[in-house]
Structure 1
């Protein structure tokens, strides 16, 4: 292919769409670029939507400078009109389909070429995001051609399978508008109720996108159901009650356990235990109870064993 004269300039940062079209005598030699403000208007055509045009020379070469476009990506459409037809006319479906869609901004450099038909088999030589756009369009064409030759049951099955493939492209595509284009082509509105979580995740993934296309899409996706504030207070109250109950049970169980241990002491051991908790020495306890020191030591050893204690410090800390 012979590159257009503006190609060298496009390499230096000026946005441009250029390429070569193999046109027969049934087509006008002008290619038009239209802005698509809303995905619902992709198949709407009027002269006011056309924002640029270029003559196609005898070799089929054209070029459109697009450095006047905004910096943000938008949807656009390229089309060529049939000879003796209005310039603002598009043909939908079939090999004579005279348009295709693309995503571009003022810095986009896009080279295209049609191999057969008019736009039925367009190859994108540069620009990865528009290569994916063409893959999406090819899937949609497969759906249409399969449905045309199939029974209703088979066509429904095939369409669901292809639409799932489009949703997978949308889920993994790194280009936000191209990802949205794949969902649009998958007829997502009829699938929202079935796969609501998928679309909510998609919205979350592209939450920083502020383009009007995403705003329209978000308006159609139900927001995740939130717990009412009154329910949150109720749940918080239940958790607090549970925590308090658990804490009280721990205190109660601890007290009951110690009380049960104290009940294992004999009457004399209880007296000695009370004196131990007052900090009395064995000699003082012996004098107060009028028993021998060896007897006091024997009782202290028994108390330690029954209460699982190891020292007088633990005796002082023992709570009944």
Structure 2
């Protein structure tokens, strides 16, 4: 009985063959070959070179392919599966549209993943990745991002929609326990453009994952440090500009006051008294009554004051 139990346990716990396999339907414009590339950082997702391609597999007559995963790293990494059109180089990437030719998925050397599609007209758009849960989460993130295009209407502002989507992605980044899934959600949330607005969240996020040493997190940390330095430089430049403006304004005010004092010295004692009342907002009649002089005399003094101080109105006199 113990032997039977042990035999059953051994059979049920024998690991399945680890491989990336699938069945892809393609029409005649595509080469019957699929290529596997390693994506070391999220900033490499839309770059392509022959050196990034780590394996290739022909499609049989029914569209089946497979890659062994035994040569992959033990830890999860991001990979890209792509196809190329006939006549195009293997290292060709089509981004967007019905002829988009690639998809991304997470795998390690123990992964058993099945990839399939349902349409030859838009082969990649109908790709389905099965067998490893983190890829379901990647698909959910992509659906959140794509929902912005589907929901955009004249009655909904693009900025409001973008903020809503980015908030959903930040929540997913904060709650996901898988490092690549979490970071992918953050990467898709337009975090660089909204860094200042969400700086506290991002710094707390990085602290939460401070023990994660993958190239994905290393590249993001480098970007954050560059962003912080860039913002620091901006603040320093702004500070210097305002400091210099303060000096210029101070010098202008000092020179103006010095010039004004010099011009005031050209006024007679009576004109200075009248000028003080003008600056206090008194009318010619009020000045006449204050000093018991004729209105015409006041007008004459005012005219002389304006000429000596090179001003043209009472407003300029008040601001002098």
If the length of structure 1 is used for normalisation, what is the TM-score?
A: 0.61
Are 2:137 and 1:132 equivalent residues in the alignment? yes
Q: Match for residue 65 of structure 1? A: 68
Shift of 1:197: 1.5
Deviations 1:56-99 (A, max 9, x none): 11211111112101112222111001122111111101222110
Superposition map of 1:127-166 within 5 A:
127-144=132-149, 154-166=157-169
Cα distance in structure 1, aligned partners of 2:28 and 2:95 = 20
Cα distance in structure 2, aligned partners of 1:151 and 1:58 = 47
Superposition map of 1:187-202 within 5 A:
187-202=190-205
Q: Match for residue 5 of structure 1? A: none
Cα distance in structure 2, aligned partners of 1:122 and 1:161 = 27
Shift of 1:188: 0.8
Note the residue ranges of structure 2 that are not aligned, 5 or more in a row. Answer: 1-13, 229-320
Cα distance in structure 2, aligned partners of 1:90 and 1:156 = 30
Secondary structure of the residue aligned to 2:22 is strand
> Which structure has the greater CA radius of gyration?
1
Secondary structure of the residue aligned to 2:222 is helix
Q: Is the 8 A contact 2:80 2:104 kept in 1?
A: yes
Q: Is the 8 A contact 2:105 2:129 kept in 1?
A: no
Q: Is the 8 A contact 1:77 1:100 kept in 2?
A: yes
Shift of 1:151: 5.7
Q: Match for residue 86 of structure 2? A: 83
Q: Is the 8 A contact 1:26 1:83 kept in 2?
A: yes
Q: Match for residue 185 of structure 2? A: 182
Question: Taking structure 1 as reference, are residues 146 and 84 closer, same or farther at Cα in structure 2, changes over 3 Å only?
Answer: farther
Cα distance in structure 1, aligned partners of 2:88 and 2:150 = 27
Cα distance in structure 2, aligned partners of 1:96 and 1:216 = 30
Cα distance in structure 1, aligned partners of 2:109 and 2:42 = 20
Q: Is the 8 A contact 2:33 2:57 kept in 1?
A: yes
Cα distance in structure 1, aligned partners of 2:155 and 2:210 = 38
How many residue pairs get aligned? The number is 212
Cα distance in structure 2, aligned partners of 1:178 and 1:168 = 12
Cα distance in structure 2, aligned partners of 1:52 and 1:82 = 18
Q: Match for residue 46 of structure 2? A: 43
Are 2:34 and 1:31 equivalent residues in the alignment? yes
| Alignment partner of 1:210 out of 188, 192, 213 | 213
Secondary structure of the residue aligned to 1:124 is strand
Are 2:122 and 1:92 equivalent residues in the alignment? no
Q: Match for residue 234 of structure 2? A: none
Cα distance in structure 2, aligned partners of 1:89 and 1:186 = 27
Q: Match for residue 15 of structure 1? A: 18
Note the residue ranges of structure 1 that are not aligned, 5 or more in a row. Answer: 1-10, 225-320
Cα distance in structure 1, aligned partners of 2:207 and 2:17 = 33
Shift of 1:146: 5.1
| Alignment partner of 2:58 out of 38, 55, 59 | 55
Are 2:120 and 1:122 equivalent residues in the alignment? no
Q: Match for residue 107 of structure 2? A: 104
Superposition map of 1:216-295 within 5 A:
216-221=219-224
Secondary structure of the residue aligned to 2:70 is coil
Deviations 1:228-283 (A, max 9, x none): xxxxxxxxxxxxxxxxxxxxxxxxxxxxxxxxxxxxxxxxxxxxxxxxxxxxxxxx
Deviations 1:17-65 (A, max 9, x none): 1111121111111000011122111100111110011111121111111
Cα distance in structure 1, aligned partners of 2:161 and 2:66 = 39
